[in-house]
Amino acid sequence: MGANTGADEKKLERLKELTAKLKEAAKAYYAEDREVMSNLEYDRLYDELLSLENETGITLAGSPTQRVGYEAAESLPKERHAAPMLSLDKTKSREELAEWLGDQEGLLSIKLDGLTVVLTYRGGRLFKAVTRGDGEVGEVITENAKAFTNVPLAIPFEGELVLRGEAVISYADFDRINEKIEAEAATLGRTDELGYKNPRNLCSGSVRQLDPKVTAERSVRFIAFSLVTAEGADFKDSHEEEFIFLKKLGFEVVPYVRVGAADVVDAVGRYEREIPEMPVPSDGLVLLMDGISYGASLGRTAKFPRNAIAFKWMDAQAETELLQIEWSASRTGLLNPVAVFSPVELEGTTVRRASVHNLSIVKSLELGIGDRILVYKANMIIPQIADNLTRSGSAAIPESCPVCGGKTLIKGDEQVQVLYCPNPDCAAKRIKAFSMFVSRPAMGIDGLSEMSLEKLISAGLIHEFADIYRLSGKRGEIAGLDGFGEKSADKLLAAIEKSRKTTPDRVLAAVGIPGVGPAGARILCRRYAGDIARIREAGEEELSETDGIGPVLASQIRSFFENESNSAMFDRLLAELSVDAGAFAAAPADSPVSGKTFVVTGSLSHFENRDALKRFIEERGGKVTGSVTKKTDYLINNDAASTSSKNKKAAELGIPILTEEGFLEMIGEDA
């Protein structure tokens, strides 16, 4: 192994940082029509990245210096592995693990729960990627591997390199993707279609896609755990040296510690405390003898190599009493059962609830209120029911939805049955409307994610917008919800209270008037000096005369407020709020901003964000648009020397470019 092979740690970290930063900037610019940095800054960072890639010989997947086209396959070809991929012998005893190591030094690492993949590099480039398959034959997924978030496409090693690792998906990405899958299924009417059961299943399906674009959307990571071949390299008879070598080549390597027999029990204990906080799934540990030649001399059995052993967690179980089964409503209409039981201590935490997943599992466990059940934490993280000791089978299947009261349906087949609410107006299905209501451009309630909203709705705490402001008397119920707690409940209630004092445009943008977003709401408030009562009473013709409204939107606004249900809902909401229209009422007609059209781009220093500056301009009678045209009066960009497309267009049209300071000076306000 040459002294100059690979990158030092600082250069490698900088290379990873630049790749991620430039990928994000490109995504913002091309996919989201926003700029997170100037073209000058992008070019400077791009040049630095290119220089680092040339210097280290490492190019990571997704690097903006590469243009990797994703080519879909009609089927995944199969290929036999050069050497069979064996399973590992297992133990659940920490003392047995230490005894197995004997007088040798070992590497104790996390056993990741994903899909094993073998990567082959030739001439410094990724040549091939193959799944584990049955250990003898795997599927070729080379194009998909190029779509992983962190696989090096080029490395500073010219000889043939073969390594094994685990493709994994984080818990956070698992939740995000499952929500998207279920929402899309509901949109298509496939209401009995569930998301993936766990991150491992999702990862397996993502890695083995025929279309690599799907893999790219799933945020799959590759974490190396074994070097098979490195042509011509010398690792000083140490597997740890192999890990160090792989790190220098740009690979993410499985976390490990070096141990002797005397250290094993303590090291396992440290991992036991750390694993529940890990972002990716794990199902145990692996102890590998560090000495390469000694380990090889031990040979193998028919099933296992003798130089490594797996440690599986002994799942701690606790007996408790089933108190109730909650049926949690989701945006797809599915009603998911959650077991609530007398609190028990498991793996150092107090557990009160466990998902039962679907109706079929409720039936197979023959659950009933008051039953004695055994609960455990799968992989020390996810509470599950291991068994029902009583099996009374007396649990009632709800005939009405806990959120809307509508009649429920049972869907599916004998293998998997789910309970479903078919009511299209069920509040649980209106999660997007509630999400828009609490969003930053609307009521701006921090801490109310879609997941939190779904829990509050499923618990029957929220049915309409006004209910959000009635939660102050339900602190205990909120704190008892899965994923909450006393601190989270207090923080949420404080954010809700803060949002009570608001402006009329935020209210109008929040309630879901068709076609009226934040910009349209501000137009209405400027026209009517922020007087919501006047807006509600205005006729179609009068509304349509407002610049930026028009007859179609005017008709939608009028129809919304003429609807008795909407009007009553709006009244109940206003009763909970303190609406200050002062900013619109006080906007001077002779303001330097009045009647002018602005475009805002780039980062800001005096205003919190672009929305804040946009609001500032519109409250003074100005208008903000997204693109520079002949109608634009000013472009606001703190980087006046930027070569961005907006700056170029402004220069072509002779439109003045102002910094924030220049803008504030122009209108006579202090910077």
User: What tens digit of pLDDT does each residue of 427-466 get?
Assistant: 877 887 898 899 888 999 988 888 888 888 888 899 899 9
Q: What is the 3-state secondary structure (H, E, C) of 151-169?
A: CEEECCCCCCEEEEEEEEC
What average pLDDT score do residues 518-533 get? 87
Q: Specify the fold of 597-666.
A: Rossmann fold (3.40.50)
Q: Specify the fold of 427-502.
A: DNA polymerase; domain 1 (1.10.150)
Whether 68-311 and 597-666 share one fold: the answer is: no
More confident residue, 184 or 214: 214
User: What tens digit of pLDDT does each residue of 555-573 get?
Assistant: 999 999 999 989 999 999 9
Residue 488 corresponds to which tokens in the numbers above?
């989270």
> What is the Cα–Cα distance from 476 to 241, expressed in whole angstroms?
54
Give every CB contact of residue 81 below 8 A, 6+ residues apart in sequence. Answer: 118, 130, 133, 135, 136, 137, 138
Number of Cβ within a 10 Å radius of residue 137:
14
Whether residue 585 is predicted with pLDDT greater than 80 in this model: the reply is no
**pLDDT confidence of residue 549:** 84
Out of 106-110, 243-247, 429-433, 517-521, which region has the weakest mean confidence (pLDDT)? 429-433
Q: Specify the fold of 317-420.
A: OB fold (Dihydrolipoamide Acetyltransferase, E2P) (2.40.50)
**81, 130 in Cβ contact below 8 A?**
yes
User: What band does 309 get if pLDDT is binned at 50, 70 and 90?
Assistant: very high
DSSP assignment of 390-456 equals S----PPPPSB-TTT-PBPEEEE-SS-EEEE---TT-GGGGHHHHHHHHSTTTT--TT--HHHHHHH
Closest Cα partner for 1 from 158, 128, 150, 124?
A: 158
> What is the Cα–Cα distance from 293 to 1, expressed in whole angstroms?
17
User: What band does 589 get if pLDDT is binned at 50, 70 and 90?
Assistant: low
DSSP assignment of 372-392 equals EEEEEEETTTEEEEEEESS--
Out of 102-106, 188-192, 349-353, which region has the weakest mean confidence (pLDDT)? 188-192
What average pLDDT score do residues 35-44 get? 59
Number of Cβ within a 10 Å radius of residue 486:
12
Q: State what percent of residues in the chain have pLDDT above 90.
A: 40
More confident residue, 399 or 447: 399
Closest Cα partner for 630 from 601, 666, 599?
A: 599
Catalytic residue, candidates 21, 78, 111, 411: 111
27 is catalytic: no
Mean pLDDT for the chain?
A: 85
Q: Specify the fold of 504-585.
A: DNA polymerase; domain 1 (1.10.150)
DSSP state of 140: B
Whether residue 15 is predicted with pLDDT greater than 60 in this model: the reply is yes
What average pLDDT score do residues 294-314 get? 87
pTM, rounded to two decimals: 0.52
Q: Which CATH number fits domain 68-311: 2.160.10.10, 3.30.2420.10, 3.40.50.150, 3.30.470.30?
A: 3.30.470.30
User: What tens digit of pLDDT does each residue of 408-418 get?
Assistant: 999 876 667 88
**pLDDT confidence of residue 646:** 87
Looking up tokens 């040296």, which residue turns up? 241
User: What band does 192 get if pLDDT is binned at 50, 70 and 90?
Assistant: very low
User: What band does 68 get if pLDDT is binned at 50, 70 and 90?
Assistant: very low
Spell out the domain ranges in the chain.
68-311, 317-420, 427-502, 504-585, 597-666
User: What tens digit of pLDDT does each residue of 140-166 get?
Assistant: 999 999 999 999 999 999 999 999 999
Whether residue 598 is predicted with pLDDT greater than 80 in this model: the reply is yes
User: What band does 128 get if pLDDT is binned at 50, 70 and 90?
Assistant: very high
Whether residue 84 is predicted with pLDDT greater than 90 in this model: the reply is no
DSSP state of 47: H
Whether residue 372 is predicted with pLDDT greater than 90 in this model: the reply is yes
**pLDDT confidence of residue 547:** 74
Closest Cα partner for 561 from 608, 511, 601?
A: 511
> What is the Cα–Cα distance from 315 to 291, expressed in whole angstroms?
32
